[in-house]
A = this chain, B = another copy of it.
Amino acid sequence: MVETTADSDLLDLRKGRPAAGQDPVKRAQIIEGARRVFIDKGFEAASMNDITREAGVSKGTIYVYFENKEELFEALIEEERGTIFKNLYEVLDHFDDLRKTLVKFGMGLSAKITSAKVIQAQRTVVGAADRIPELGARFYERGPKRGHDKVMAFLNQAVERGLLKIDDVDLAAYQFTELCLAGLFRQCIFSYRTKAPTQAEIERVVTSGVDVFLKAYATEKFLAEEKALQSA
């Protein structure tokens, strides 16, 4: 995160000219160009010249804002991750109907992760993971890992309420996620599918996945409640 002292802030306001490498508009402009090029070509094949052209800034400027190609890429991924997983977990905050919540969340997750844009970003990270393993690790940690934690927290709540009976919540959380992506994720990153799955496909997968999950982990109590609800 860019640090700005109160003084320089004042200066900014007065003069309207940000310090070197500090103009957030320019930074965003560079990252936007970088996004297009990196996502389009992958890390290695993307040239700083391409990014220069795409971002509409000079080469020197990029190097004022980012130490080197790698760092620029990292910054982009950092941003991308934030964008991708934003608003994804809000669904889990409202605890209404367990099955409905799981389906709703699962569909959001599945749609997000298999969207063309996100798949391409993930491909780029995976492709670069050989040369910059920490990058991939960081991406996973602050993205999927964080999501996993949220799911765990949610499942724990359900267990406490007596709706689910789970021995290994950690593993169950992974199982839930995978069930929501069943068959989709790998097809997408390997570009076997060249288009993102449709809403209908996702619904089919997620509904079935939640079914499986609940058959495995739901308590009698939950089933009874659900039955009562439906007959009402």
Instruction: Give A residues with C-beta under 8 Å from B.
Output: 40-45, 120, 123-131, 133, 136-137, 139-141, 144-145, 148, 168, 170-171, 174-175, 177-179, 181-183, 185-187, 189-192, 194, 204-205, 208-209, 211-213, 215-217
Contacts and interface: CB of A to CB of B under 8 A. Distances in A.
A40 B131 CA distance: 8
Nearest to A40: B130
A179 B175 contact: yes
Contacts of A139: 190
6 contacts: A144-B190, A171-B182, A175-B208, A185-B186, A212-B213, A216-B216
B186 A144 contact: yes
A172 to B, nearest CB: 8
Q: Which of A40, A120, A179, A213 has the most CB of B within 10 A?
A: A179
Contacts of A123: 126-127, 129-130
A131 to B, nearest CB: 6
B175 A182 contact: yes
A131 B45 contact: yes
Indicate how many identical chains form the complex.
4
A27 to B, nearest CB: 21
A161 to B, nearest CB: 20
Q: Which of A44, A127, A168, A181 has the most CB of B within 10 A?
A: A127
Given A127-B127, A175-B182, A190 B45 contact: no
A171 B213 contact: no
Given A128-B127, A140-B186, A133 B171 contact: no
Contacts of A127: 42-43, 123-124, 126-128, 130
Contacts of A192: 136-137, 140-141, 145
